[in-house]
Structure 1
Amino acid sequence: MSLSGWVCVVTGASRGIGRGIALQLSEAGATVYITGRQETSLKQTAAQVKERGGNCVPVICDSTKEKDIEDLFERIKREQNGRLDILVNNAYAGVQAIFENMGKKFWETDPSIWDSINNTGLRGHYFFSVYASRIMVAQGQGLIVTISSMGGLRYLFNVPYGVGKAACNRLAADMAVELKKRGVASVSLLPGAVQTELVTQLVLEKETPQGGDPTVRSQQIRFSGNYFSCFSLLLNLFSLAQLKEVFANGESTEVSGMCIVNLAKDKHLMSLTGKILLTCDLAKRYGIKDIDGRSVTDYTSLTFLLSRVPYLSWLSAVVPSFIHLPRFVLTLTSNRF
């Protein structure tokens, strides 16, 4: 197996993308330490990993508590002879806060929402990265992957969310600058539309109004779209029916894991360090198919984008599928100069 003997940490692996990543890393042969705050859900992930022949170590760890994080890495050093190959910063605890304050402006919201959104999903990532890097730098190699969102490039949900996700991208990029000469890579990974448990509950199982009323905009369920797509400026153009279609054809939670497995073994990994990487791009780079054999949707494909725009969808039938949105356009979405 490609990662046999490797040691990995995946934070927030109780469910969703974190669980999918843990499954793929363990299936590739790695020993995976998974963290979360709920023992029951962690054990469920561990049991699923075991069923598939993998090796998983569930650890109750609160990403907001430095002592928990320090203890985890001390344990890894003891149990794995000081080896650590991959850290995946995935933990996030802000969904409920986003949902409860949907539609409010930042001055109308209790400022404590900042901590609810960014203590785990930003501060925690930094602390995990510090302790992981101390091991990786000492051994002269390693990979840190920070799961990100389009909210880091343009407004999405609320101010604390966008600032936190932009900071995650900057965290990955700036760590890459300091780690590169030590043989350690750091990247942001931006998944597409992912069929997480939350998305299934809030989008796929949500009843569409009769006739697919286009006035039912995605704003109503935006809080569940943390991992929507790399062209989120079209979000407000989507009806609920369209969103259901997008997510129905979305990535499984394991695509991100497949990308990380291939990325870790890439001989040219250091040429990618510091970058924001899209799962659809990595799927093309490595020839990845989803677990059910489907192709991974390319959200930068002009064919896909046109198919989602009212009155222009007919063009998607005549535009070649190999034409993509230039990457500089994504950069421009956050350009303020």
Structure 2
Amino acid sequence: MSLSGQIAIVTGASRGIGRGIALQLGEAGATVYITGRKPEESLNSKVGLSGLEQTAEEITKRGGKGIARFVDHQNMDEVKNFFEVIEREHNGQLDILVNNAYQGVTTISENMGKPFYETDPHVWDTVNNVGLRNHYFCSVYAARLMASRNKGLIVNVSSGGGLRYLFNVAYGVGKQALDRLSADAAVELAKKNVCVVSIWPGAVRTELIDKYFKDENGNPKAGIKNAKVFTSGETVEYPGKAVVSLALDPRRMDKTGRILITEDLGREYGFVDIDGLKPPNMRSLSFIIQHLGWNTTANFVPNWVKVPGWILWAGSSRL
């Protein structure tokens, strides 16, 4: 089975999880449009191809067709124009949208540990303009194309930050809103056979994570909380395997409106990471204990012991 003939969009695919998802969609045979901001001309002239263009080339090398498009996802006119191009070039066909673009990583790291009332309130816009508002706009334009053909898949890349406090107020509110976007859009798109889900990757070994948590020898840095959790986590392509599996599943509508954890999908569909490993599940009791910093205790708890999803939700309930 393959995704040959299918048209996919992955926003924010220059690096990280977006790049990994785009590569896996390409490896499955899809035509993949990837978006990102245009690099500065001076920088571009020095380094040659941008990260976005390099990703597009790799997609094509893997058997798909990679098409890079520079889109500023802060600018909704550019977003609208981009989807109009997709509609014209493919006679209205769009099979997969992955909302992954995000702008707030640097802002979050710079304000880590500061309460929201001591930070500039414009942090909200930095975190949630691209990471939430843009996702809504992209979902609207994609859903119009998919609904007209009575088929499609929209994936919102979210996180456990929508469950309970993580990083800062703006981040958590944005992620919970993104999960609600998936749930409510799924209600309205159910009759159009368009599946909408949020996926929660676990601890992902992105380029930024490796830089922060690993030493020069590739080992977890001493003295940094959660270093071991992240350095033993998923590669950026593991969430991509999850998206491909969903796209190929003829019964994916059974999952519409839900939050899906990548490792749960790996266990269900039978795939492993590109390094042959099975990453930890965020519902795994050992993972949770390790995330709390109790590494020694975590070593005595089997990975297969998981906390049921309803307990996680109950633990975050405000009612």
Distance, in Å, in 2 between the alignment partners of 1:289 and 1:6 is 24
1:45 Cα offset (Å): 1.0
Distance, in Å, in 2 between the alignment partners of 1:26 and 1:272 is 23
Cα deviation code 1:275-322 (max 9, x no counterpart): 1100010010011111111113223223444566677845753x5543
Are residue 13 (structure 1) and residue 13 (structure 2) matched? yes
* 8 Å CA contact 2:229, 2:291 repeated in 1: no
The match for 2:263 is 280
Of 66-75 and 143-152, more deviation after overlay is shown by 66-75
1:38 Cα offset (Å): 2.9
* 8 Å CA contact 1:288, 1:296 repeated in 2: no
Are residue 289 (structure 1) and residue 272 (structure 2) matched? yes
The match for 2:169 is 159
| Correspondent of 1:117 among 120, 124, 127 | 127
* 8 Å CA contact 1:283, 1:296 repeated in 2: no
| Correspondent of 1:334 among 313, 316, 319 | 316
1:173 Cα offset (Å): 0.6
TM alignment of 1:111-260, pairs within 5 A: 111-205=121-215, 212-213=222-223, 240=224, 243-260=226-243
**How many residues end up aligned between the 2 structures?**
307
Distance, in Å, in 2 between the alignment partners of 1:321 and 1:192 is 14
SS in 1 for 2:137: helix
The match for 2:305 is 323
Distance, in Å, in 1 between the alignment partners of 2:206 and 2:174 is 21
313 and 326 in structure 1: CA distance in 2 versus 1, 3 angstrom threshold: farther
Of 298-307 and 165-174, more deviation after overlay is shown by 298-307
Distance, in Å, in 2 between the alignment partners of 1:310 and 1:70 is 45
The match for 2:92 is 82
207 and 296 in structure 1: CA distance in 2 versus 1, 3 angstrom threshold: closer
* 8 Å CA contact 1:306, 1:316 repeated in 2: no
1:243 Cα offset (Å): 2.3
1:44 Cα offset (Å): 1.5
1:81 Cα offset (Å): 1.8
1:52 Cα offset (Å): 2.2
* 8 Å CA contact 2:31, 2:64 repeated in 1: yes
Distance, in Å, in 1 between the alignment partners of 2:79 and 2:222 is 47
1:98 Cα offset (Å): 1.2
207 and 293 in structure 1: CA distance in 2 versus 1, 3 angstrom threshold: closer
Sequence identity, in percent?
Answer: 51
Distance, in Å, in 2 between the alignment partners of 1:167 and 1:314 is 34
The match for 1:230 is none
| Correspondent of 1:267 among 229, 237, 250 | 250
51 and 156 in structure 1: CA distance in 2 versus 1, 3 angstrom threshold: same
306 and 159 in structure 1: CA distance in 2 versus 1, 3 angstrom threshold: closer
The match for 1:220 is none
1:175 Cα offset (Å): 0.4
* 8 Å CA contact 2:13, 2:19 repeated in 1: yes
Cα deviation code 1:95-138 (max 9, x no counterpart): 11112222221111111111101000000000000000000000
Question: What is the one-letter code of the residue matched to 1:336?
Answer: R
Cα deviation code 1:246-270 (max 9, x no counterpart): 2221111001110010011112211
Structure 2, unaligned runs of 5 or more: 40-49
* 8 Å CA contact 1:204, 1:247 repeated in 2: no
- TM-score normalised over the length of structure 1: 0.86
Of 181-190 and 34-43, more deviation after overlay is shown by 34-43
Structure 1 vs Structure 2 CA RMSD: 2.1
Question: What is the one-letter code of the residue matched to 2:314?
Answer: L
Of 85-94 and 35-44, more deviation after overlay is shown by 35-44
Question: What is the one-letter code of the residue matched to 2:318?
Answer: R
The match for 1:25 is 25
* 8 Å CA contact 2:58, 2:66 repeated in 1: no
Of 45-54 and 107-116, more deviation after overlay is shown by 45-54
Question: What is the one-letter code of the residue matched to 1:44?
Answer: Q
* 8 Å CA contact 1:306, 1:313 repeated in 2: no
The match for 2:45 is none
Distance, in Å, in 1 between the alignment partners of 2:118 and 2:228 is 34
1:156 Cα offset (Å): 1.0
Distance, in Å, in 2 between the alignment partners of 1:42 and 1:315 is 39
